[in-house]
Structure 1
């Protein structure tokens, strides 16, 4: 999609550097805004890890919002540096195909639920509790509102950056999509704080999302699974009242990979079957 008549070797590189530099500046500015918000609202800040605010719900909302700012940056870079319609990042149809996105969301929700069930079963069989709990509506609802409102933009922003920009922009250097898919997956894994088996999970997630983006001709499938996965993951944390650890990543037990494998298999096969039956456009015209 980025290999247009106006494409030049330097455009993807310049665009990438501009996105990274601008996002760094925005992140620094966000820290200053957070300080002002703390002064005005009276909510104390914290120097604990990557958190900004002592209030975990406010902190989650603020950090999700900062990540979401990647979305206009990437869309703007496609227009400014590659001289192509920003909609070309979304799909080969030059737009986000909402009906297809809705279908992918249904498949994603089923796959995430089955994956969570498989993970819980594996953990219980190993004598480890899955960590499910209920803290009450008072603790759950405020966090759920923030999650439902902001996670779709945060997840979409990451997909447009790692699967949209990298696979298309840097993929313009290659005839085969796999170098760009793997590069996007490496960048995606590196931007997270997981260790051990968690790195494997994030990398495989990135590879699957990149492959599905190519096979379905757009970002709808990756966005659907990313949004569903994050909403459920954050939602379970909010339900348990453990929002202080909502953004913690770190180590992941190997049993969790079984649940991830179930989720990935159900979603991958389901999306490809529906895409074939619906004759989803996969190539530009």
Structure 2
């Protein structure tokens, strides 16, 4: 009598499980792209960021002080220590110290993110996990055009009102300042956006779903880091809101970085040419209205550019397949199957389970625990 083994038998391998639904995450919720996400990770990231930045700032401060004394003599440091309130921002040495010390936030934050996640680290920059250079370049060009027109209009209004304009008076060390405005100021602006619109938006987004909280809650921290009067602080707060909204609306930091870079570059250029006083802490409602108008026009155009260029504003994340008993994993569903199936055999003796297509599409052929193989006559 011929004995044949049945092509299938009892065993757990044929049980289907539903596949987890993918999640669509906006920028402020990108921390949830990390399967190891925990509510306390932003706090650990903040502590690491602070520690790394403190170390870098101390090293930079020592190197800067030694260099300053080597060039200007020991009395230069004495003047700074004894009368810090008399510092002039447009002094090239002071300018470099103030602006480059903020650039150090970039490596400090990236190192903290590398330890705590989520990965890739580029999720701090955009939903694509990288800096979208083409979008950034377009936003920079648009921002420069808007600010050039805005400040030209302000100068023409001043000319019409007072009948004269102040002549340019380049400050001492003008060319050193120009080099730093081109090389250091953009990095300083990007560093502040990485912290205040990157880290803080995503930290709040770990805990609160609605974007309005992620946009607005970091605003006071950014605003009161500047020493201005009420009008000046309102202008800073308005830019923080616009930059936060742009970050959420465009899915990345590019538009916010462009806005911040253009704003700071134009302001420092005017100071280098002697057309404004960067040390001034007083402002007016006219300056607030001008900056707000320029930023609103920029935001509108940046969003239109993002839409026309097909810039991604969300990231689709497929959660990891859940663990199953016995050290097994899920298999990808085959065509015609109802979903993921057991992908590894259960150790031990037993009969054969469904051998797969065409007999049973989507299942895995393997040994399963259970009674001895069935015998057919």
TM-score by length of 2: 0.68
> Which residue matches 1:2?
31
| Aligned partners of 1:155 and 1:226 also within 8 Å | yes
Rg: which structure is higher? 2
- State how 1:91-130 maps to structure 2 within 5 Å: 91-120=126-155
> Which residue matches 1:261?
292
| Aligned partners of 1:118 and 1:258 also within 8 Å | no
Is structure 2 residue 186 aligned with structure 1 residue 152? yes
Is structure 2 residue 281 aligned with structure 1 residue 281? no
Out of 31, 41, 46, the residue aligned to residue 11 of structure 1 is 41
CA distance in 1, matches of 2:164, 2:70: 41
Is structure 2 residue 248 aligned with structure 1 residue 211? no
Out of 55, 61, 84, the residue aligned to residue 96 of structure 2 is 61
The count of corresponding residues between Structure 1 and Structure 2 is: 281
| Aligned partners of 1:134 and 1:239 also within 8 Å | yes
CA distance in 1, matches of 2:267, 2:140: 15
The Cα of 1:258 is off from its aligned counterpart by 1.7
| Aligned partners of 1:12 and 1:169 also within 8 Å | yes
Is structure 2 residue 272 aligned with structure 1 residue 235? no
| Aligned partners of 1:193 and 1:249 also within 8 Å | no
| Aligned partners of 2:242 and 2:296 also within 8 Å | no
Question: Aligned with 1:251: secondary structure?
Answer: coil
| Aligned partners of 2:229 and 2:281 also within 8 Å | yes
Q: Cα deviation per residue 1:255-275 (whole Å; 9 max; x = unaligned)?
A: 101211221121011111111
> Which residue matches 1:38?
68
Greater relative contact order (Cα < 8 A, sep 6+): 2
Question: Aligned with 1:284: secondary structure?
Answer: strand
CA distance in 1, matches of 2:207, 2:264: 32
| Aligned partners of 1:122 and 1:258 also within 8 Å | no
> Which residue matches 1:191?
225
Out of 262, 277, 282, the residue aligned to residue 251 of structure 1 is 282
| Aligned partners of 2:91 and 2:172 also within 8 Å | no
Structure number with the higher helix fraction is 1
Q: CA RMSD in A?
A: 2.6
The change in CA–CA distance for 1:51 and 1:177 in structure 2 (over 3 A counts) is: farther
> Which residue matches 2:213?
179
Is structure 2 residue 111 aligned with structure 1 residue 82? no
Larger mean CA deviation between 275-284 and 34-43 belongs to: 34-43
CA distance in 2, matches of 1:109, 1:41: 36
